[in-house]
């Protein structure tokens, strides 16, 4: 990276000799993360375990809406994803709203409101919104999910999850 003068713009020289400003690099990072998210949404809808986990780091840390309190590692994520996908009779509805992505160097995060819907194997219809925050790290030049946190708000008086809220 080269900078000159007080008002200089940070410039990165790429392997091919071309230069990219920090703003251009950040925009490219956001495009790459959006593609990762889009591929993952499609994989969840199709109940494709390998596709859903393809951008998950081996040491991923997950705070999910179901027990346990936390889960770590790709083996745990695979087990949870397989169990979740198999709990639905058909495809899983997955919608994201208000997606925001922030990048900075080799780390980034996104947050959104996510809707999951479908019919579970017991015939129960699921239609719920959750809050999601996902953290990414660029590992060997590729964006990987290193932390996920999904939650639902709860009613302070009853102590029950507020599963009927909608944006």
Task: State pLDDT tens for residues 34-85.
Answer: 999 999 999 999 999 999 999 999 999 999 999 999 999 999 999 999 999 9
116, 93 Cβ separation under 8 angstroms = yes
Give the position of tokens 């713009």. Answer: 9
Q: What is the pLDDT of residue 20?
A: 59
- Residue 2: predicted pLDDT: 38
* Segment 106-136, tens digit of pLDDT: 999 999 999 999 999 999 999 999 999 999 9
Cα 71 → chain centroid: 15
DSSP string, 132-143: EEEEEEEETTEE
The answer, as to whether pTM is greater than 0.95, is: no
> What is the pLDDT, as a whole number, of residue 5?
45
Rg for the chain, CA atoms, rounded: 19
Angle at 142 between CA 145 and CA 70, to 5 degrees: 15
Query: Is the domain defined by 11-151 classed in CATH 2.60.40.420?
Result: no
- Return d(Cα 33, Cα 28) in angstroms, integer: 9
């Amino acid at each position: 990276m080269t900078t000159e003068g007080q008002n200089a713009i940070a410039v990165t020289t790429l392997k091919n000799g071309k230069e990219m400003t920090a703003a251009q690099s950040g925009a490219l990072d956001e495009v790459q993360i959006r593609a990762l998210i889009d591929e993952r949404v499609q994989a969840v809808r199709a109940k494709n375990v390998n596709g859903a986990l393809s951008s998950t780091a081996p040491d991923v840390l997950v705070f999910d809406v179901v027990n346990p309190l936390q889960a770590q590692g790709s083996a745990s994520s695979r087990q949870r994803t397989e169990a979740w996908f198999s709990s639905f009779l058909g495809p899983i509805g997955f919608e994201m709203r208000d997606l925001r992505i922030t990048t900075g160097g080799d780390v980034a995060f996104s947050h959104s409101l996510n809707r999951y819907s479908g019919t579970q194997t017991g015939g129960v219809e699921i239609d719920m919104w959750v809050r999601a925050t996902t953290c990414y790290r660029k590992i060997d030049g590729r964006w990987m999910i290193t932390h996920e946190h999904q939650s639902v708000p709860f009613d302070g008086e009853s102590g029950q999850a507020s599963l009927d809220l909608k944006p």
